[in-house]
Structure 1
Amino acid sequence: MNDAEHLRRFEDQSLLREQWNHRAHLKVAYLYLLRLPFPEALERLRSGIQAYNAAHSIVNTPTGGYHETLTQVWLRLVDAALRQFGPAESADAFFDAQTQLCDKRTPLLFYSRERLMSEEAKRGFVGPDLTALPGG
């Protein structure tokens, strides 16, 4: 599906749950960053994920559901790559070129697993304990 359709289906919660994977999250982050300043992109991403989760009965548990720190980390990483390398002809082309963003372990370059997976990090943003985030 093209970028506009992906974003529309995310925003109206018609994107199938089995399609709501790591790359789908990143694509929404990328598309918001192309259209909005960072603070607005963060707010739209945050509220959109929470609305999507509610519409699909994705509950918050210690290991699942919405995670504020991860949301902010991934948005910052996508933003840094976008500023460094520029946009591509599509979100998929961007992530095909920026494969480091497709590795779900990338945040562990900045955070210890214990800190990143803490309840505090899930509820609100906590800064990294290993090295600074880009733009942070």
Structure 2
Amino acid sequence: MMPAAEIRYFETSSAVRLLGERLIGACLPRAEWTHEAHVAACLWLITERPDLDAAHELPGIIRRHNESVGTPNTDAQGFHATITHCYAVGVAAFVRRIHPALALVDKVNALLDAPESARDWPLRFYSRERLFSVEARRAVILPDVARLPG
């Protein structure tokens, strides 16, 4: 069994917003595009950027970011449609159950402690084989273990 990865929490709401803006602008350094950054950016988009449709625009935002840092979007690496969709659904479900008046940093850090941000969360809904298939990387596919929330 692998040890759990240490969670990298955010210190300020400004840090979360800067992360999101740099992601959208395709100027976020590759080293800063961590698992925590993925879910934080998703929460920020959902809660503070209603002008952007996160579900539809996040794939393009991530693809552009990957290209800007030299990560190819292929059948073996880069953007993964189903994993992105799974986390977007989970983050949206999390946002619906937290108090909207919480500061952005408090929302993000609470999310990082929630099941929806766990690195293995998608495996609650997908078998490993199905989730890591080329088909799942290319397009959102239906889960084969359990239904996604919401």
TM-score (norm 1): 0.88
Counterpart residue number, 2:61: 48
Q: Which runs of 5+ in 1 are unaligned?
A: none
Question: What's 1:73 paired with?
Answer: 86
Larger relative helix fraction: 1
SS of 2:41's equivalent in the other structure is helix
Indicate which of 18, 36, 50 corresponds to 1:36. Answer: 50
* TM-fit CA distance, 1:102: 3.2
Residue 40 of structure 2, aligned match among 27, 40, 43: 27
Specify the SS of the correspondent of 2:53: helix
- Structure 2: runs of 5 or more not aligned: 1-13
What is the aligned length? 133
CA separation in 1, counterparts of 2:45 and 2:54? 5
Kept after mapping to 1: 8 A contact 2:76/2:134: no
- Per the TM alignment, residue 96 of structure 1 is displaced from its structure 2 partner at its CA by 2.4
Identity of aligned residues (%): 31
Q: Spell out the pairing of 1:1-136 with structure 2 (5 A cutoff).
A: 2-34=15-47, 35-36=49-50, 40-87=53-100, 88-90=102-104, 92-98=105-111, 99=113, 100-135=115-150
